[in-house]
Amino acid sequence: MNRYFFYNFACVSFMNLMLFVPYVLIQHRYDGTVMSLVIAPVVGTVLLYMYTSAMSRFPGMGMPDIFRERYPRWFSSMIIGGFAIMWWLSSVFVIVAYAILINRFFNPDANTFVILFMLLLACGYAATRSSLTVMFVLEILLLLNAPFILFILVKMLTDTQFNWDAVHVAANYVVNMPNLSALAAATYIFTGYISMSLYNRLMPPNFQYKYRYIYPVFGFAVLLATFFIPIGLHGTEAVGQYVYIWSVTADSLIMQYGFIERLLFLFLIVFLNLTLVFTMTAWHQAMEFVKSCLPGGKPEVDNHRIPVSNYVIIAVFIVFTLAYMFLVNEKENVRYASYWLILRLFVEILLVVWIFVLSRRRMDRT
Amino acid sequence: MRLLIRLLCLAVVIGTLGGCGFKDIDKRFFVVGTGIDWSGNKDKPYRITLQLAIPSPKVESGASKTQYEIIDAPSIAEGIRMLKSYVDKELDFGHCKMFLIGHTLADKDIRPVIDWMSRRRDIQSVANLAVGEPDAETVLKVRATSELYPGNALYLTFGSDGTESSYTYVETLSGLNRRLAEKGLDPALAFIRNDNRTSYIVNQIALMDKQKIKMMLSPTETQLFNQLSKHFTKASMHGMFKGTPIVIAINSLQSSFRIKQEQDETIIVMRIRMKVVFEEAPSGVYNASWEAFENELSRDYEKVSMALLEKIRRAGIDPFGFGLRYRAMHNGQGSWEQWQELYPQARFQVHAHVKVEGTGLIK
């Protein structure tokens, strides 16, 4: 079952390869990103170890179940509701940005709302399924897309245009003090473990998290790739001009004998899949969190009949996402996303420490 | 109930299909070459030439049909929009791989052109750029008799599918953008002339600063530049040995450079290793000592490359990326300013190692 944990981790890492994380990191390339890249794996790894060891003391329980067991109903509902909003927001930024991206690159004449609505319908439908189904969908789609992501990354690294001098220049700024916004963005790569807040329900009793040393290594490699590959291909200065840095980076390479010459289209399709998968799991988690605040029986992980409440909650999510799209433009979306990244860092630390303390108390009691 | 929901979803999907902005392929004009010139008119400074492909059922040499649209406009984007009212189909830049900038415009300022190109989403970042002489319009209007598809003669010249010439310098849009912005790495563009009405000559390079052309390289210098900058290494080279001319073909060439600082002097050391075979040589060369040839050729090579490096440096530009290397090696904010002071006084050292691999098929 350890591989399901890895999928969750990899999904968040790969997802952030392209959108806001590199944008924020590159924005701060001269004032603190490189030092943040060094610190982020440490922070990420500590949080990951704390959270996984805490969660393994609560077999078959998710974060909402833990809170509900301990605290009065009104209090736990409030906390869990807050987390549900965080989870929901995490994917809203991504999917709205992706809808705008499709509008920019595929079809500038189409209405962004229509595109977004289509994406939301697909994700929303997938998110209403049972937790187990969502996990399987995640596995299948990630396995299908991972080879393409690796292909794109290797192709970029081995390209003749790749300039190691530029990478070296950027890495020289390691002496600068880390910057909060860059640190928040860099730690986001390591955030995949937080999905265990819900999916721990699926884990069998006596489950052990194994091979945890892989995650820092994997995360750090993704982090280096997301920051240095665009710099190697665009240089230290030009890299700051682009709004969709990874899309432009993919476009500056050519697949001479591929079916489609422009690597951009392969890239966009692969990341469309990832965006949909990411939104699906994030919404599924947010939905389950909301459900655990409602009165009801024990949560099921593999229900055959989908409860109506699932549809209702997801419908509310869709409506609010469309409303968000209506209210913000492209630039504001990026700005809010970078604020959200900072907020997330603190909320995440709070959640991890909280659960960790609760798990120690539980051990003392038994 | 379930059926109703499914039908509803289907209805929504079908209902939104009409909103797609897709235009059929026969309603599009594919632009295969774009030229941007300086018109000389202050009010409408840009002359835009579009080469539009006309689909033709015949695929044979010289059967490609194109249509040209030319307009003078105050800005490039306005010009393109205006041109849309001249043609009956939607203009599509998605297949345009060649962008030519007229010589006069390249002597003034190419930045507005590059800015416009980078902003358009349908222009590929891998599109090739070059400078057209005397202007882009003339070069685009060359009807190459060997052309199979509209616009593909120029494209084949630059892509690695067709001819691989040691004189062609290929620069893509994203590569040029990088060089225009990077501190310590200056742009260069290939220079296209038309000799008569049916073909092109691409054997020169225009070296630029961050804005316009600073100097032109002759064909021999162009070849050398391509080798030194690792752009194209399969080439040939002339030499003299004891009064007899010899020509060698370079099979492989590796060049690298580093920057040394000795006392208060900055030295740029360039190392070139190459493996060569003879193409033209005096008879009996097989039995003679190859070492003498190797030394002679190495010294020749060092001399000409040194002259080229000095010449480029005197123009105050740095297309090899020496400055970038210096910034990579020296930490801190001030390294770029330091380099700007050091570069004009820097000394070059070139070490060439020619290794003869054989004499061809005969002795």
At B1 the pLDDT is 66
pLDDT digit string, tens, across residues B123-152:
888 888 899 888 888 888 887 777 777 777
Q: Could you count the other beta carbons within 10 Å of the beta carbon of residue A271?
A: 26
Instruction: Work out whether strand B90-92 and strand B98-102 pair parallel, antiparallel, or are unpaired.
Output: unpaired
Burial of B89: CB neighbours in 10 Å, binned 0-12, 13-18, 19+: middle
**Which token pair is A249?**
């980076």
Report CB contact under 8 Å: A252, B126.
Answer: yes
pLDDT band at B223 (very low <50, low <70, confident <90, very high): confident
For residue B197, what are its two tokens? 């009405």
In this structure, what CATH number is given to the domain that contains residue B283?
A: 3.30.300.210
Residue B161: pLDDT band by 50, 70, 90 thresholds?
A: low
Quick one: average pLDDT of B184-212? 85
Chain B residues within 8 A of A121 when measuring between CB atoms: 9, 12
Q: Could you tell me if B211 and B223 lie in one domain?
A: no
Which band of pLDDT confidence, cut at 50, 70 and 90, is reported for residue A279? very high
Q: B283-333: per-residue pLDDT in tens? A: 777 777 778 878 888 888 888 889 999 999 888 888 888 888 888 888 777
Of A114, A117, A169, the CB nearest to B328: A169
**Residue A308 token pair:** 């109506």
Q: How far is B37 from chain A (nearest CA, A)?
A: 25
Contact in structure between A11 and A281 (CB atoms under 8 Å):
yes
Same-domain status, B61 and B119 = yes
Is residue B112 one of the residues assigned to a domain?
yes
Domain span holding position B227: 218-363
**What tokens does B287 get?**
């039995």
Pairing assessment for the beta strands B200-208 and B213-217 based on DSSP bridges: antiparallel
Whether B111 and B179 map to the same domain: the answer is yes
Residue A47, both tokens? 């949080």
* pLDDT (0 to 100) of residue B67: 85
Measured distance CA(B130)–CA(B159) in Å, rounded? 13
Name chain A contacts of B6, Cβ cutoff 8 Å.
none
CB A334 within 8 A of CB A20: yes
Q: Are residues B172 and B45 in the same domain?
A: yes
Residues of chain B found within 8 Å of residue A118, distances taken between Cβ atoms: 13, 16
Which of A104, A111, A256 faces B19 most closely, judged by CB atoms? Answer: A111
Q: How confident is the model at residue A351 (pLDDT cuts 50, 70, 90)?
A: very high
Interior/surface letters A308-322, b for 16+ CB within 10 angstroms, e for the rest? eebeebbeebbeebe
Residues of chain B with Cβ-Cβ distance to A117 below 8 Å are 16
B6, B117, B177: best to mutate for the A interface, most A CBs within 10 A: B177
The arithmetic mean of pLDDT across residues B50-69, rounded, is: 79
Alpha carbon of B30: minimum distance to chain A alpha carbons (Å): 16
Question: Above 80 in pLDDT, residue A334?
Answer: yes
Based on the domain organization, do B222 and B324 belong to the same domain?
yes
pLDDT at A46 over 90: yes
User: Structurally, how many domains does chain B consist of?
Assistant: 2
Nearest to A262 among B124, B161, B321 (CB): B124
Tokens 């415009």 locate to: B105
The predicted structure's pLDDT at residue B279:
80
Interface residue A104 vs chain B (CB under 8 A): yes
pLDDT value at residue B54 = 81
Q: What is the 3-state secondary structure (H, E, C) of B102-159?
A: EHHHHHHCCHHHHHHHHHCCCCCCCCEEEEEECCHHHHHCCCCCCCCCCCHHHHHHHC
B15 is a domain residue: no
Q: Indicate the average pLDDT of chain A.
A: 87
Is B319 within a domain?
Answer: yes
Which of the listed residues B179, B199, B217 is the one where a domain comes to its end?
B217
Q: What is the pLDDT at residue A281?
A: 92
Q: Are residues B192 and B261 in the same domain?
A: no
| Residue B167 belongs to some domain of the structure | yes
Residues B145 and B270 placed together within one structural domain of the fold: no
* Whether residues B31 and B176 fall in one domain: yes
pLDDT greater than 60 at residue A139: yes
% pLDDT > 90, chain A: 25
Give the distance from residue A235's alpha carbon to the nearest chain B alpha carbon, in angstroms: 6
Query: In what order do the strands lie in the sheet containing B347-358?
Result: B235-241, B244-262, B265-280, B347-358
In chain B, what percentage of residues exceed pLDDT 70? Answer: 91
Q: pLDDT averaged over chain B?
A: 82
Domain ranges of chain A: 2-365
Q: Is residue B13 part of a domain?
A: no
A304 touches chain B (CB under 8 A): no
A305 reaches B (C-beta below 8 A): no
Residue A322: predicted pLDDT: 92
Distance of CA B357 to the CA centre of its chain: 31
Going by C-alpha positions, the residue among B339, B144, B244 that lies closest to residue A169 is B339
Q: What is the pLDDT of residue A69?
A: 83
> What ipTM, to 2 d.p.?
0.83
pLDDT for B88 equals 82
- pLDDT(A285) > 70: yes
CA distance B122 to chain A (A): 7
Q: Which of A35, A237, A314 to mutate to test the interface with B (most CBs of B within 10 A)?
A: A237
Q: Does B100 fall in a domain?
A: yes
| pLDDT for the residue numbered A352 | 92
B12 → chain A, closest CA residue:
A118
Q: For B240-265, what is the mean pLDDT?
A: 81
Q: What is the pLDDT of residues A9-29, one digit of tens each?
A: 999 998 887 778 888 899 888
pLDDT band at B251 (very low <50, low <70, confident <90, very high): confident
Contact A256 B161 (CB under 8 A): yes
For residue A343 the two structure tokens come to: 């907020």
- CATH 3.30.70.1350 matches A2-365: no
Which of A161-170, B83-92, B242-251 ranks highest by mean pLDDT? Answer: A161-170
Q: Chain A residue closest to B186 (CA)?
A: A235
What is the band of B85 on the pLDDT scale with cuts at 50, 70, 90? confident
Q: Of B186, B217, B248, which marks where a domain is finished?
A: B217
Searching chain A, which residue's CA lies closest to the CA of residue B258? Answer: A165
Alpha-carbon gap, residue B51 to A278, rounded angstroms: 44
Mean pLDDT of A286-302: 80
Which of residues A315 and B59 earns the better pLDDT score?
A: A315
* B182 vs A107, A172, A235: nearest CB: A235
Cβ pair A66, A358 in contact under 8 A: yes
Which of A104, A252, A261 minimises the CB distance to B121? A104
Judged against a pLDDT cut of 60, whether residue B363 lies above it is answered with yes
Going by pLDDT thresholds of 50, 70 and 90, the confidence category of residue A278 is: very high
Q: How many CB pairs under 8 A join A and B?
A: 90
Are residues B124 and B257 located together in one domain of the fold?
Answer: no
* Residue of A346 and B156 predicted with greater confidence: A346
Confidence at B17, pLDDT banded by 50, 70, 90: low
* Paired tokens of B247: 């020509």
pLDDT of B233 reads 62
Residues of B with CB under 8 A from a CB of A: 9, 12-13, 16, 19-22, 118, 121, 124-126, 160-161, 172-175, 177-183, 185, 321, 324-325, 327-329, 331-332
**Given this model, what pLDDT does residue B2 score?**
73
Q: What is the pLDDT of residue A297?
A: 65
Residue A347: what pLDDT?
92
Nearest residue in B to A168, CA atom: B328
B108 and B203, same domain (yes or no): yes
Amino acid at A72: P
- With an 8 Å Cβ cutoff, is A69 touching chain B? no
Q: Is residue B10 part of a domain?
A: no
Assess if residue B1 is contained within a domain.
Answer: no
Same domain, B136 and B234: no
Q: Distances in Å between the alpha carbon of A134 and those of A140, A199, B117, B123?
A: 10, 10, 43, 39
Interface test with B, best of A163, A175, A231 (most B CBs within 10 A): A163
Share of chain B above pLDDT 90, in %: 1
